[in-house]
A and B are shown apart, each in its own frame.
Chain A
Amino acid sequence: MLLSLEPRGQQSRLMLWCSPLLAAVLTLGCGSLLFIALGHDPLETLHTLLIAPISDLYGVSELLVKALPILLCALGLAVAYQARIWNIGAEGQLLLGALAGSALAVNIIDLQSRWALVLILLTGTLAGAAWAGLTAWLRTHFNANEILTSIMLNYIALNLLLYCVHGPLKDPAGFNFPESAMFGDASRLPLLLEDGRVHAGVYFALLALVAVWVLLQKSFVGFQIKVLGLDKRAAGFVGFREKRLIWLALLISGGLAGLAGVCEVTGPIGQLVPQVSPGYGYAAITVAFLGRLHPIGILFSSLLMALLYIGGENAQMSLNLPQAITQLFQGMMLFFLLASDVLILYRPRLNLRWARRAATPSVQAGAL
């Protein structure tokens, strides 16, 4: 064997920082080869994918709009994943947040008070938390695997939303389109810029970012969550309450996903539609791991993920690149990032061991 991996025994601090850079270089390199093979100019394609979307203020604001729900969901997921509670249900929790918020909003369209928005946001957040609470209850009472229950609840949430959009929440004056009525002005999140869709949800995201950072890095509850995730027996040996921590992690996770959902309907969309989320809840899983479950890492990885979403659409429109190619590009990036992470715990070593291996069979033949 020419190249072998040796365990380092200790995390390499240098590699912790270098591995994303290495992954970026490899992705850009291999991506260029891919585009060349398809007959596109690699530089132009990469520019369309990664730079053009954020070359003006409007682009940046679109990036923030896209990144916001992903960031909120991923922050919540990071809390659950630190406890090794594999909540795959952010998508369903997001949809339910949007649904519950909308259900309230269409009933108070005429309410002019600012409290309308507060009530709606609160309803959405609580609904997301309650939906995750179902998973927590199934886990703590029946020891049901949270991966399965949270995935299945995603489909239930989606169908609940579709039912409501086609039935009880459908706009009576909407020509039978599956949409709710537009929300009242008092129920909408205020815009931050004149010519862009970026809205006040950004403040919530920043608040959540700081809160999750304090929770995970500074608070004793966060420490308990981490210990529970790393070593259940150690957590039991000092008396950390496992069930309580599972509930807490899932409620935070669901609450933030619900907030993301209700921000979507009260922000850029303004009404309940069947396509509230193009899979933000699933993208957030990737983003949480890309950011290494650290709030700051998640901030950057959610921006990157949003950029790839927008860049992909861009390339589709201006270069006629099929969507599959941009997804391939995304997959390549994830692959290289995870592959480079091996270097954090292992040291690559070039050795000439093959030379010795080749020599040994003769000794053995002599012995036998």
Chain B
Amino acid sequence: MPNPVPIPDTTPRLQLCRITKRYPGCLANDGIDLSIQPGEIHALLGENGAGKSTLMKIIYGVTQADSGELIWQGQHQLMRNPAQARSLGIGMVFQHFSLFETLTVAQNIALAMGAAAGTPKQLEPKIRQVSQRYGMALEPERLVHNLSIGERQRVEIIRCLMQDIRLLILDEPTSVLTPQEADELFVTLRRLASEGCSILFISHKLGEVRALCHSATVLRGGRVAGHCIPAQCSDQELARLMVGEAAGLITDYPKAKGGDAFLQVQKLSWPNPDPFGCSLQDIDLDVRSGEIVGIAGVAGNGQDELLALLSGEQRLGRAQGATLRFAGQAVAHLRPDARRGLGLAFVPAERLGHGAVPELSLADNALLTAFQQGLVSKGLIQRGKVLALAEDIIRRFAVKTPDSQTAARSLSGGNLQKFILGREILQRPRLLIAAHPTWGVDVGAAATIHRALVALRDAGAAILVISEDLDELFQISDRLAALCGGRLSALKATADTSLIEVGGWMAGQFDTPVHLSAQPA
């Protein structure tokens, strides 16, 4: 539960006045005011693209504001670079960690702190002391590549705590954690705050903001949409602040049962040649026509590997062809285009650079995967048909773009995702595999994407969704499983499971699926 709100009569730790930052073509921050007291846990809430990242970067000195004032403990500051921010006692944990995998924890921390802090050996006792004091178990001599994502995050946090820290900025720290790990993190953060450290907590998950934060600033479209005390607001109120009009955005879709299994995965094992990668072990999975199966899991637990094997980017030998089957036909040895011919459509996690070629126009990107739909005749591209398809996608999926000749990279994440999903859906797939379909997408576009997926399911397609967003999976999937350490839990109907149970699966608390899959589904 939240600590009592600190008495706000002292000088604020940090105060921002009218911070404005303009990037070409967008006003990222527009006159933002924000104030954080010592010992306060302050949430910065907002959708993707609301200007949260820009604001943090300005505070941490990564980039500079065009105008506005930054007042640190009552004094004006011009934050020129992160080194200056660190010297003032500001620490930041980014969403993507910057750790050397082949070095130990202590070596990584010593590298970040510079030569003055001492050798890794000299730092070890202090690292132990800090990790015990804040309840974050961490062995300084372990190599980073052996650590889980949660442990790596601890390295980043301890790195900040090694110095005299006054303000800790955390960028969506729970997005890489299981619910249980997130709870452990909150214990640490509360202890830090009780010692007087201010915490700026960036998130778009309302539940955890309410559980942890004393106060919140909500950003929308680069402006402050409101300040509030999260414990006193309902989800609806917070959502309305974040997106404007929240009605109709969060809906429950009726669950479906599905028909015959279309995708069957049997005893799929794949040793990863990359020593730091994840190997898959004995994966059993089936997806029926007319249902959505969701796979939860913390990033790096085998999702990328499983996706590559399913899409055909990674093929198996002919002898192992039957470990993957589409409607009974062995496909594990087939190339992606052959699998597409059998009814597969695929939406990769990365939109630019994987699902779409950034430099090419939307029309060319439509051709990229739809070339088997009669768009090529005698080796020549049927330009007219390609344009017609691209315009059809743009119209039916409400993609906001000047025209179909616009380069893919100039579209926003949500719009491009709608385009890619539309491209795959219009090919009338019998199996659609989507990785993180709404990652980094605003609420409105996410709702469109969810509706499209459910409509495709109701039209009889088998759908497999891999996501880190548990709320999303519970909302749209009919059956659920979780990946952990390259192993997959058994599938269970969404209605029969709970957030806590799936959280347990994500942490590896499940029997080996070998036993369970022996029973008829």
| Residues of chain A having any CB pair with chain B under 8 Å | 6-11, 214, 218-221, 223, 226-227, 230-231, 233-234, 236-241, 360, 363-364, 366-367
Contact = CB atoms under 8 A, between A and B. Distances in A.
B353 A234 contact: yes
B78 A363 contact: yes
A231 B353 CA distance: 6
A363 B360 contact: no
A366 B381 contact: no
A9 B24 contact: yes
Contacts of A221: 379
B120 interface: no
Nearest to B381: A220
B505 interface: no
26 contacts: A7-B24, A8-B24, A9-B24, A9-B25, A214-B380, A218-B380, A218-B381, A220-B381, A223-B364, A227-B360, A227-B368, A231-B358, A233-B353, A234-B354, A234-B355, A234-B357, A234-B368, A236-B313, A238-B337, A238-B371, A239-B312, A239-B335, A239-B337, A239-B340, A241-B335, A367-B76
Contacts of B312: 239
Contacts of B112: none
Interface of B: 24-25, 75-78, 311-313, 335-340, 346, 348, 350, 353-360, 364, 367-369, 371, 376, 379-381, 406-407, 410
Which of A219, A239, A366: most chain B Cβ within 10 A?
A239
- Please report whether the interface of chain A is mostly helix, strand, loop or mixed according to DSSP: helix
Contacts of B75: 367
A221 B379 CA distance: 7
B78 A364 contact: yes
B357 A219 contact: no
Closest 5 pairs between A and B when the two form their complex, measured CB to CB: A239-B336, A239-B337, A367-B76, A231-B357, A239-B335
A366 B71 CA distance: 13
B356 A10 contact: no
Nearest to B313: A236
Contacts of B346: 237
Contacts of A8: 24
A34 to B, nearest CB: 37
Contact of A234 (B356, B376, B380, B410): B356
Contacts of A214: 380
Nearest to A8: B24
A360 B336 contact: no
A247 to B, nearest CB: 17
Contacts of B364: 223
Contacts of B313: 236-237
Given A219-B380, A239-B335, A364-B78, A227 B357 contact: yes
A360 B77 CA distance: 11
Which of B340, B348, B380: most chain A Cβ within 10 A?
B380
Contact of A237 (B348, B380, B406, B407): B348
Contacts of A234: 353-357, 368
